[in-house]
Structure 1
């Protein structure tokens, strides 16, 4: 199989697991990274050891217009048969009301919304040639905002609408879906109290795994009649309602 999947933010965490899963499915992988160069190189080496010449790495700061345009231009020069776009890269940090500035808002919205949308738009001609698909990583907090993370929640809510819009605009040639993780990996600054509060709201009473997301992404890649869907992977949390705290 000479099909390539571009995964943004693929060097660590959920992106890393998605890259490993899709590679195991037979796809070749473009590992995009921002600052995690060492991790990206290690992943590239790992994948190429399994299947030679099946992984490449590319760096770009997706919240920067010039770098995003340069990144797309480099992809076009490579002329790889890209059939899958996984918009996984995201910024996540608190923005309490009263402490927000324009630059921070611009950075969050650029990374979490504009970059995925523009990548989908710019790469659509490539994806169309291969009956491709786009999968956006959203968040259950797109529908119930996370306290003190207003801009993050807004950006993910907008990405959910962008996913539905793209599914309409790019049909019938390209399928577009969204995956909305719940509590999968704890944020680096979370504490025991906040973790216990979240666990108490999850019907399955446990933290999810990055592999849970990767397996769903794998399924959606191979599901030719699913488009315009946002699927939560949250142990049932969004089905029963939660505080968003």
Structure 2
């Protein structure tokens, strides 16, 4: 009988979130898979995990991060189902170009809400309802820089980067909080690996990473009880230049 508690992965139906969910299943975690509109992808992932790891329990959780949500209530409802979240992975993200030429605040509000506000609220609710465990936030290698063509996105990730460190202090010793900052791992929608390889010419290691490198960082965080408040840059040295 599987005695592991659950891991909640936001944005779990695609890309890095999906890889994280599958890796956690391999580590024998029961799963709560968050999705917004990608119900078909989330259901397919649930079916895939359950077919391979038959003893695991997988729960789907639909939340629209652009609406107001009571995460304390959502977590309390999970507890009523005997679901205790041990690992929270804030992976849901929205990545849209923007700069100083853009008028208005709609995109700013959207990027802040999806990329920062909900991770912020989920973290606080997790601490209140479950009281112990592990939180892993996905930021971005470019949080270390001040030049960008994704202004609103990077501002939201910079906030999440600092909030990760604040949370690590405030929620210790019962909750460890760390971050992973991917670099050239997956091409954006509509691009292929040649797009990444061209960008890699400007980083120290001159090559691109892959999902396996992200998962190694994830596992290190899970395994290392003496590790908190850190951001692991999986970026070939991109943040250094």
- Structures share a fold, TM > 0.5? yes
Q: CA deviation at 1:202?
A: 2.8
Q: 2:35, 2:64 → 1: CA distance?
A: 8
Q: Do the aligned partners of 1:120 and 1:134 also contact (CA within 8 Å) in 2?
A: yes
Tell me what 1:51 maps to. Answer: 54
CA distance in 2, matches of 1:232, 1:13: 18
Distance in 2 separating the partners of 1:228 and 1:165: 8
Q: Which runs of 5+ in 1 are unaligned?
A: none
Measured after TM superposition, the shift of residue 39 of structure 1 is 0.9
Q: Distance in 1 between matches of 2:211 and 2:66?
A: 24
1:23 aligns with 2:25: yes
Work out whether residues 25 and 56 of structure 2, in 8 Å CA contact, stay in contact via their aligned partners in 1.
no
- State TM-score, norm by structure 1: 0.90
Q: Which residue of 2 aligns with 1:14?
A: 16
How far did residue 52 of structure 1 move? 3.7
CA distance in 1, matches of 2:64, 2:205: 37
Corresponding position of 1:125: 128
| Runs of at least 4 residues off by over 6 Å | none
Shift of 1:72: 4.5
What runs of 5+ residues in structure 2 fail to find an aligned partner?
Answer: none
> Could you tell me which residue of structure 2 aligns to residue 35 of structure 1?
37
Distance 1:27 1:121 in 2: 22
**Aligned mates of 2:190, 2:72 — CA distance in 1:** 33
What is the rounded CA distance, in whole Å, between the counterparts of 1:5 and 1:170 in structure 2? 18
Counterpart CA distance in 2 for 1:164 and 1:74 is: 25
Q: 1:97 to 1:171 in 2, by over 3 A?
A: same
By how many angstroms is 1:196 displaced? 4.3
CA deviation profile, 1:172-212 (whole Å, cap 9, x unmatched):
11000011000110111447885344110233322211221
- What is the CA distance between 1:96 and its match in structure 2? 2.6
Would the alpha carbon gap of residues 146 and 21 (structure 1) be closer, same or farther in structure 2, given more than 3 Å must change?
Answer: farther
Give the 3-state SS of the residue equivalent to 2:177 in structure 1. strand
Which is further off, 74-83 or 155-164?
74-83
SS in 2 for 1:63: coil
In the TM superposition, 1:135-154 aligns within 5 A as: 135-145=136-146, 147-154=148-155
| Alpha-carbon separation, structure 2, partners of 1:31 and 1:144 | 32
1:167-182, aligned counterparts within 5 Å? Answer: 167-182=168-183
**1:199 correspondence with 2:204:** no
Q: Deviations over 1:151-183 (max 9, x none)?
A: 111111111010011111101110000110001
Return the TM-score normalized by structure 2: 0.91
Cα RMSD for the two superposed structures: 1.8
1:225 match: secondary structure: coil
> How many equivalent residue pairs?
235
Contact 1:204 1:235 in 2 (8 A): yes
Q: Deviations over 1:201-224 (max 9, x none)?
A: 233322211221122112211211
Matching residue of 1:104? 107
SS in 2 for 1:186: coil
Is the 2:78–2:84 Cα contact (8 Å) retained in structure 1? no
